[in-house]
Amino acid sequence: MIMANTVENESMVLDSKELYFLASLLETDRLLGVDDPFRDFLIDTDVGEREEVRKSLISKGYLVMKDNEEGWGMPLRVSSSLRTACNAEKACWLKLRTATETIEQFMHITDQRIVNMERSNREPSLHKIDEISEVCNASGMVASKIQWNQQTPDQLPALILSKRQFEEIASHSDELDVEEILSELSNMPDDQEAIIALAKCLKTCLSQGDLRFYAWDGSKWDTQTARFLINHHMNWLIRSSTKEDEDWLIATPTPMERFLEMLQTWFHVTPRQHDSAGALS
């Protein structure tokens, strides 16, 4: 995990059951509520044997006896991180795949800081938890983790493609060579220079994945999604239809500056007055 610009405290490591247990002590309906996207991020949110979970938290120092000896509580840094997550009115779920690793993390975003929870590859129910003290630097952290490059030209046009056809080609890109991918994509009437760049990116992909952006409007979470596809020469940001009766996909060459601007716009928090329209355009 990129540790630059994080709070000086050492990282915490909690599994899903421990997170669920601690969240229940905060007596809030926001964190891990029925509609909270973070609940979907966690694996196995059923606390199960509470006594075993409680013992585990005590051994880690994340659950301590209150000063008045009237029950158990959390150290300040633990409760602070969880309360930040509870108060977050924006969130970002990143899923990333490279040739050597898979990264998945969930960021709870407030106007003061971000609580970042990254899933362990070895044990998917474990999460490494860090606080990012400078919200303005969160976009740089995400771009660095995704390996967003600085080579993408800004003059290539966006491509409007068939979602079904593109996904069929992408699912078989390992089996096809560049010329075969280009042949399939060339059936789509669009800019040929951009089509060639997309074909090469599909075949020589270094990083690909999904970004999901969430905004709390006071009663529910609004969602925007985007995919990304990156090689040494191009960054593609991809949006597509979500309705079964629609079949469109827009692949946009996206230079680093434009991507950072998009993230910075999204990460800017104005409580209950979100204006996320166009954040992914």
Nearest CA to 115 out of 80, 140, 145 is that of: 80
Looking at per-residue pLDDT, the higher value among 183 and 235 belongs to 235
User: pLDDT digit string (tens) for 52-110?
Assistant: 899 999 999 999 887 766 678 899 889 889 888 888 889 999 999 998 999 999 999 98
Which pLDDT score is estimated for 68? 63
Q: Residue 265: which of 250, 254, 278, 256 has the closest Cα? A: 278
**pLDDT bracket for residue 117 (50, 70, 90):** very high
Q: Is the pLDDT of residue 212 over 70?
A: yes
Q: Rounded to 5 degrees, what are φ and ψ at 195?
A: -60, -45
Given a contact cutoff of 8 angstroms between Cβ atoms, the answer to whether 62 and 74 are in contact is yes
Chain-centre distance for alpha carbon 152: 22
Write out pLDDT tens, residues 11-51: 899 998 898 888 888 876 666 666 788 888 887 656 667 88
Segments making up each domain of the chain, as ranges:
12-146, 159-267
